[in-house]
Amino acid sequence: MVVLKQVKLAALKAGTAAGLSRWLFDSHWRQQRLLILCYHGISLDDEHEWDPSLFMPAALLQRRLELLGTHGCAVLPLPEALARLERGDLPPRSVALTFDDGTYDFLVRALPVVKAFGFPATLYFSTFYSHFNRPVYDLAVSYVLWKARGRRFDLPGVLPGPVTLDAAGIDATTARLRAHAHVHDLSAEEKDALLTRIAAAGGIDLAPLRARRILHLLTPDEVALVQRQGVDVQLHTHRHRVYDERSRFDRGIDENRRSLDGIVPGPLEHFCYPGGVHLPEFLPWLAQNGVRSAATCQPGLVSRATHPLLLPRLVDTSTLTSLEFTSWLSGLAAFLPHRRPHHPEWMLVRASGMPAHG
């Protein structure tokens, strides 16, 4: 993977030096395409050190948005951008900003930066942990174990035996603890109690994490607040899961909508697949649920030929270089091969598999 990235960076550097990026910025090809940027968390503390694929520092988000201005990008609200793409009247260098999940850091870290630039943004909001406002178990397990890295860890009655929390041990233990919660169909309260046990076993104090609301979602009142500040709030399932069983899939959308009803005025008709996980059968199901667009985590630019329920996005991360980011703004990066994104399989619950409580 390191070698592939080095080869891609060399190709992008050569293409930029040859003027390809500058030419593409002003091309008819680029004007017929929309780049949707995807962000997840903006760190309250050290989350970007734990998982740079999910979190970045606010200073890096600011630098990214500065690059949009430097390169003269037209940052449009997502619904408007999709409508103008369909009509064929996109402005040059069109970009839309999207944020996934709705963690508390969106309000206190991301939104002030976005507002300072006067840019519109869409927030795909998953609602379950909005009402049960505790650390999101599946994320917090990994984060707490990372905080306890290097230690010998044991959780009798849950794990088969002690494990060393090196990189491999953290990954394996995280998977086991997520599976334990699902296999035993733990309620949200039971998972929060288990998280307390996990933290204690790792010698980690959960109080600062809870006090600062790290890995917490926005409350309903906070969602209403960001909406009043101009954020377009849209669908992301209730429990941040998708199901291959139609009735449960539909219920996840319906619960998400009902949780946002009365908080978010206007239509809820744009959707983001949790973790980018999608199956072919989801497309007609979404259409029948009144969803007009659905965003993936597959890198690419959107054209009129793109299926509206399979919108590609650039998932911007702390590991993406400025050259790579700028090359996506111009479209140059779209011509290079790229790895398919990793889809977290635990976000897909199969009919024969484990239940999920969020």
Cα atoms found within 13 Å of the Cα of residue 49, Cβ hemisphere only: 7
Model confidence at 1, pLDDT cuts 50, 70, 90, reads low
pLDDT of residue 356: 42
Residue type, 15: G
Q: What is the mean pLDDT of residues 63-74?
A: 98
pLDDT digit string, tens, across residues 278-292: 999 999 999 999 999
pLDDT digit string, tens, across residues 188-231: 999 999 999 999 999 999 999 999 999 999 999 999 999 999 99
pLDDT of residue 353: 57
Residue 27 has pLDDT above 60, yes or no: yes
The set of residues, in sequence order, having a beta carbon less than 8 Å from that of 11 and lying 6+ positions away, is 336
b/e string for 93-110 if b means 16 or more Cβ within 10 A? bbbbbbbbbbbbbbbebb
Whole-number average pLDDT of the chain? 94
Look at residue 149 and give its three-state secondary structure.
Answer: coil
31 bridge partner residues: none
CA distance 26 to 315: 23
CA distance 49 to 54: 10
CB atoms within 10 A of CB 4: 12
CA distance 34 to 90: 8
Model confidence at 293, pLDDT cuts 50, 70, 90, reads very high
pLDDT of residue 357: 42
State how far the alpha carbon of 34 is from the alpha carbons of 73, 81, 214, in Å. Answer: 11, 7, 32
CA distance 271 to 235: 5
pLDDT digit string, tens, across residues 322-348: 999 999 999 999 999 877 766 677 788
